[in-house]
Amino acid sequence: MGEFVRLEVADGVGTIRLDRPKMNAISTGVQRDLLEVAAEATERDDVRALVLTGGERVFAAGNDVKEMADWSYTDMVDHVDLVQGSVTAIARIPKPVVAAVNGYALGGGCELAMAADLRFAADNAVFGQPEVLLGITPGAGGTQRLARLVGPSRAKELMFTGRMVKAEEALAIGLVDRIFPAADVIAEATAWAAQFVNAAPYALRAIKDAVDRGLETDLETGLGIERQHFAGVFATEDRTTGMSSFIENGPGKAVFNGR
């Protein structure tokens, strides 16, 4: 278990929790922990879906500016793969991941939240990519994931100005998917993740991969990825179980074994 990020598992749901007081600033140590936790969450069969959170008061206020302030160009060349790769590792977990965001999710924190499949925001959540105010750019996926979520024009406006976005606006522009009272957001995210504990994991994995990889390419290539996954899931026991259950008992009653 990492020093600043831990994976807690209960009843098939994993919770990836950042814990670097006071503001969960994303340091090199946090980034290394994220890589390790993402690998563990991917490998563990007892983890069927995940909640990504920073806790009750703050998600993550950004990358650790104090740590980076004295880095040279060559220092950043040595570190940039870790900066971006730690967030990409979360995005590539082949299971449903929902971010539960309380308080600030700024800079690297916003980039980390965007790596989840969905974002549930507390009514006190604040999002933003304010790197331009430091004279730098987003470097952990912000220029790419924000544009894909809210569209290029709106993403540019947010990154050009560095302004912060409260939960209601974040919902309106598509940056978050649902808003809950701050006291409830982690529980609501956990309940959402729990619905997949008995689902067909290879079908979920295929859906996630088809969507994510398809968005990176043109429609025809994306359809080819979809065809491969559609044919591939016919090799699973869960496909046989699901179709047999549908014929015999109707939809939504299959009990899958994850094979």
Question: Is residue 67 domain-resident?
Answer: yes
Q: How many CB atoms lie within 10 A of CB 97?
A: 24
Terminal alpha carbon distance of the chain = 28
pLDDT tens, residue by residue, 93-140: 999 999 999 999 999 999 999 999 999 999 999 999 999 999 999 999
Q: Which residues contact 226 (CB under 8 A, 6 or more apart)?
A: 210, 214
Instruction: Round to whole Å and give the CA distance between 138 and 36.
Output: 23
Helix (H/G/I), strand (E/B), else coil: 22 = coil
Whole-structure pTM value: 0.94
Task: Examine the domain organization and report whether 92 and 66 are in the same domain.
Answer: yes
Q: Give me the phi and psi of 7, to 5 degrees please.
A: -110, 120
Q: What is the pLDDT of residues 56-97, one digit of tens each?
A: 889 998 888 999 899 999 999 999 999 999 999 999 999 999
* 258 phi-psi bin (left φ>0, alpha ψ -120 to 50, beta other): left
For residue 258, the model assigns a pLDDT of 86
Query: Mean pLDDT for the chain?
Result: 95
Q: Residue 140, CB half-sphere, CA atoms under 13 Å: how many? A: 31
pLDDT of residue 57: 85
Is residue 39 domain-resident?
yes
Claim to verify: residue 33 and residue 144 sit in the same structural domain:
yes
Q: The tokens of 49 are what?
A: 């879906």
Same-domain pairing of 184 and 230: no
Q: Which domain holds residue 243?
A: 201-249
Within-domain flag for 36: yes
Counting the structural domains of the chain, the total is 2
CATH of the domain at 53: 3.90.226.10
